């Protein structure tokens, strides 16, 4: 048996599915053209609108963190096409397990984006109803939710909601995780379980090229998509800044999952244009030349250019969208400032679904401690700043 080698590292453009070039030109792909054939100009403007609104959310949330209104924020800047394209391919009954940067996907699941900020302000452990939206709570423990998603998908199989042929019943599960997460054992374990059980789960890896300050080149010697086949999971690499391509490859993977064809690994090759979080300073570990080269591949500019060149972005639409984004910004600022500060003791609530004597003992101790301050100034004062 010969030894096979890979000539390309993890940052290659080789093998990326692309339907829109960085210059906004539509390119043809024999396997995926049919997946987007039904998207007319209205639908494309809808995807553009989604991306613009989500970017506005990012900008507002970052400013609110700087003003001390949020404890922390993790921007999705640059990843809008990966998230909106894949999110818009989902069906209502599908279930998503996000990490902590999936604001675009949250938007496609009908989550009010101000609810996402309840978590980042520290007034809530979650912020939305995961069942109602088919969108699980954010997970900060890197990679752990790939196991939750796989287990959930195995449950979907046992509920008989796979391969029935009923488009309103057959269900897929999608888990979003990063390039850094692929180095976690949990992700490998999830791929094993998903593969051997032929579970209806799509592993959607957003390779934004950084895991805080660690580059993808320290996570892998080969494209991350190459991990799938080793587990028996088909995989695809897609240009993550191309909203049409991410829509198309996700639609295909979802269809495979729902029809009983098993899991898929998608690597959406993209770039984290902002900092890891508001606590991070990327100028310490990457060059402005690198950032600039990716600004030229901005996912929103790409679709805007495409629409403009076809005369499908009328001024009235652009103006209405700008007004809508301004209104969203205003609503985000007002809502977040109105969230108030939870009492510190509220951290003991909802630790378990049922009362727990240890947690209760800790709560009692904590309340006595807070009350021991003569002026009571600490009690009720939020510590989220
Ligand atoms: C199990 C675990 N280890 C370490 C961390 C600290 N941590 C938070 S984010 C992060 C980087 C994750 O990078 P990636 O998976 O590429 O996702 P991205 O932030 O780029 O979206 C790390 C190491 C964590 N949250 N969980
Ligand atoms: Mg990353």
What's the gap in Å between 165 CA and the centre of ligand 2?
36
Third-level CATH fold of 16-337 = Rossmann fold (3.40.50)
pLDDT at 367 exceeding the cut of 50: yes
pTM score of the predicted model:
0.94
Across the chain, mean pLDDT equals: 95
Q: What is the pLDDT of residue 302?
A: 98
**pLDDT category, 18, cuts 50, 70, 90?**
very high
Residues β-bridged to residue 96: 135, 174
Q: Is the dihedral of CA 121, 124, 128, 130 positive or negative?
A: positive
**Mean pLDDT along residues 111-133:** 95
Ligand 1 centroid to 279 CA: how many Å?
Answer: 13
3-state secondary structure of 210: strand
284 pLDDT exceeds 80?
A: yes
**Ligand 2 (ion): which residues have CB within 5 A?**
178-179, 208, 211
- What is the distance in A from the centroid of ligand 1 to the CA of 195? 24
The predicted model gives 297-310 an average pLDDT of 98
Atom of ligand 1 lying closest to residue 182 CA? 15
* Residue-range domain boundaries for the chain: 16-337, 342-385
Least confident interval from 7-11, 139-143, 322-326: 7-11
Proportion of the chain above pLDDT 90, given as a percent: 90
**Which residue from 142, 189, 220, 279 has its CB within 8 A of the most atoms of ligand 1, so it is best to mutate?**
142
* Parallel, antiparallel or unpaired: strands 16-17 and 95-97: unpaired
Using alpha carbons, list the distances in angstroms from residue 305 to 19, 270, 312, 313, 377.
14, 19, 10, 9, 55
Distance from the alpha carbon of residue 37 to the mean position of ligand 2, in angstroms: 31
Q: What is the CA radius of gyration of the chain?
A: 22
Ligand 1 pocket: which of 105, 180, 220 to mutate (most atoms within 8 A of CB): 180
Question: Is 93 in contact with 164 (CB distance < 8 Å)?
Answer: no
Question: Which ligand minimizes its atom distance to the CA of 212?
Answer: 1
- Per cent of the chain over pLDDT 70 is 95
The residues lining ligand 1, judged by C-beta closer than 6 Å to any ligand atom, are 101, 140-142, 178-181, 208, 210-212, 272, 276
Residue 69 pLDDT > 50:
yes
Q: Is the pLDDT of residue 123 over 70?
A: yes
Q: Once rounded to an integer, what is the mean pLDDT over residues 7-13? A: 87
Ligand 1 atom 20: residue of nearest CA: 211
pLDDT level of residue 8 (50, 70, 90 thresholds): confident
What pLDDT, on the 0 to 100 scale, is given for residue 240? Answer: 98
> pLDDT band at residue 233, thresholds of 50, 70 and 90?
very high
Query: Residue 378: pLDDT above 70?
Result: no
Band the pLDDT of 376: cuts 50, 70, 90: low
Protein residue with least CA distance to atom 21, ligand 1: 178
**Angle 41-66/113-121 helices, nearest 10 degrees?**
20
> Is the Cα dihedral 258, 261, 265, 268 positive or negative?
negative
Ligand 1 centre to CA of 272 (Å) is 13
Is the pLDDT score of 4 beyond 60? no
Q: Which ligand is nearest to the CA of 276?
A: 1
Please give the distance, rounded to the nearest whole angstrom, from the Cα atom of residue 313 to the centre of ligand 2.
32
Tell me which residue has its CA closest to atom 7 in ligand 1. Answer: 142
3-state secondary structure of 291: helix
**pLDDT, tens digit, 9 for 90 and up, residues 320-338:** 999 999 999 999 999 999 9
* Beta bridge mates, 202: 174, 264
Reported as a single tens digit per residue, the pLDDT across 150-195 is 999 999 999 999 999 999 999 999 999 999 999 999 999 999 999 9
């Amino acid at each position: 048996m010969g030894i096979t080698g890979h000539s390309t590292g993890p940052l290659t453009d080789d093998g990326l599915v692309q339907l829109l070039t960085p210059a906004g030109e539509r390119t043809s792909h024999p396997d995926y053209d049919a997946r987007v054939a039904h998207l007319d100009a209205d639908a494309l403007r809808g995807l553009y609108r989604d991306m613009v609104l989500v970017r506005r959310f990012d900008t507002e949330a970052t400013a609110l963190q700087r003003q001390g209104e949020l404890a922390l924020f993790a921007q999705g800047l640059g990843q809008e096409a990966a998230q909106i394209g894949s999110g818009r391919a989902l069906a209502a009954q599908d279930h998503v397990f996000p990490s902590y940067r999936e604001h675009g996907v949250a938007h496609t699941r009908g989550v009010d984006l101000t609810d996402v900020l309840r978590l980042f302000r520290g007034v809530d452990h979650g912020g939305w109803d995961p069942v109602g939206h088919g969108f699980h709570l954010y997970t900060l423990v890197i990679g752990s939710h790939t196991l939750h998603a796989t287990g959930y998908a195995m449950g979907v199989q046992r509920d008989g909601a796979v391969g029935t042929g009923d488009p309103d019943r057959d269900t897929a599960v999608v888990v979003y995780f990063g390039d850094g997460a692929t180095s976690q054992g949990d992700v490998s374990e999830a791929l094993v379980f998903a593969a051997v059980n032929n579970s209806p789960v799509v592993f959607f890896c957003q390779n934004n090229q950084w895991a805080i300050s660690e580059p993808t080149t320290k996570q892998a010697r080969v494209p991350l998509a190459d991990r799938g086949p080793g587990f028996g999971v088909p995989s695809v690499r897609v240009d993550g800044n191309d909203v049409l391509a991410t829509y198309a490859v996700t639609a295909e993977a979802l269809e495979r999952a729902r029809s009983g064809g098993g899991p898929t690994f998608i690597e959406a090759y993209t770039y984290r244009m902002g900092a890891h979080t508001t606590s991070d300073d990327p100028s310490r570990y990457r060059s402005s030349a690198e950032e600039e080269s990716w600004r030229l591949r901005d996912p929103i500019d790409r679709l805007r250019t495409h629409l403009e060149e076809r005369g499908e972005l009328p001024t009235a639409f652009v103006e209405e969208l700008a007004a809508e984004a301004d209104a969203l910004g205003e609503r985000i600022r007002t809502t977040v400032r109105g969230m108030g500060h939870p009492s510190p003791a509220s951290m003991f609530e909802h630790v378990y679904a049922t009362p727990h004597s240890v947690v209760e003992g800790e709560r009692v101790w904590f309340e006595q401690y807070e009350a021991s301050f003569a002026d009571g100034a600490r009690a009720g004062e939020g510590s989220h700043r």
